[in-house]
Amino acid sequence: MGSLEGRTNKAAASKEENDRVNTITLEQAEAGIGQEVVSPWREVTQAMIDQFADATDDHQFIHCDPERAARETNFGGTIAHGFLTLSLLSATAFETVPRLEGSDIGINQGFETLRFVAPVKTGSRIRARFVLAKLKSRPSGWVEIAHDVTIEIEGSPKPALTARWLTLAFVKPAAARG
């Protein structure tokens, strides 16, 4: 679960995975503004970093060459790409943040703020903290959602990143739900 390895279909989640997270109503979500949820810890492995490097064609030695990174940097070895760490927000949100009732579609809208604070060393464990900051319903059925997020590194006083993440969820009208 903690890595991309062994997943046969990375683009689509199974219904079983989808049902892991609680479903809440829009009213419950609105009442939960300001509340925090925290994901489980997950290890960032060299295999994950290498797969990300292959997918993005970013093979900088600080990510992909453990011996050279240990020798030529003050990291003591390789570190995860900042964008890999950022990309793990989706997985951590999926397993942690309650889904809006009637919503099967969620899309990224972007980031209001984003700061990479500290590097994630290979073998480190990270987790995400999500604080629901804002919800806004649109007449079209889309709901704008803002979360203040922090990705923590186990044992580190500094987080890997902080951000305000903007997403959209499409909520089907009650009459259209099966």
Write out pLDDT tens, residues 29-72: 999 999 999 999 999 999 999 999 999 999 999 999 999 999 99
| Predicted pLDDT of residue 33 | 97
Residue 13 has pLDDT above 90, yes or no: no
| pTM of the full structure | 0.85
Tokens representing 125?
Answer: 């464990």
Whether the per-residue pLDDT at 19 is higher than 80: the answer is no
- Which of 109-113, 119-123, 139-143, 160-164 comes out lowest in average pLDDT? 139-143
How would residue 176 be classed by pLDDT, with cut points 50, 70 and 90? low
Question: 150-172: per-residue pLDDT in tens?
Answer: 999 999 999 999 999 999 999 98
CATH number of the domain at 22-44+82-173, out of 3.90.1210.10, 3.90.480.10, 3.10.129.10, 4.10.1240.10? Answer: 3.10.129.10
pLDDT of residue 104: 86
Mean pLDDT of 2-19: 42
Residue type, 107: I
Query: Is pLDDT at 6 greater than 50 in this prediction?
Result: no
Q: Is 104 left (phi over 0), alpha (psi -120 to 50) or beta?
A: alpha
Spell out the alpha helix ranges (H) of 78-119: 82-96
**CB 164, CB 146: distance < 8 Å:** yes
**Between 76 and 19, whose confidence is greater?**
76
Q: Give the pLDDT of residue 56.
A: 98
Name which residue leads in pLDDT, 174 or 158.
158
Tokens 């219904």, located at residue: 15
Name the more confident of 3 and 104.
104
Averaged over 143-149, what is the pLDDT?
A: 98
Supply the DSSP string of 57-81, one letter for each residue.
T---HHHH-HHHHHHHSSSSS-B--
The residue extents of the domains of the chain are: 22-44+82-173
**pLDDT surpasses 60 at 16:** no
Cβ pair 146, 112 in contact under 8 A: yes
Cβ atoms within 10 Å, residue 81: 21
* 3-class SS of residue 85: helix
Is the pLDDT reported for residue 8 higher than 50? no
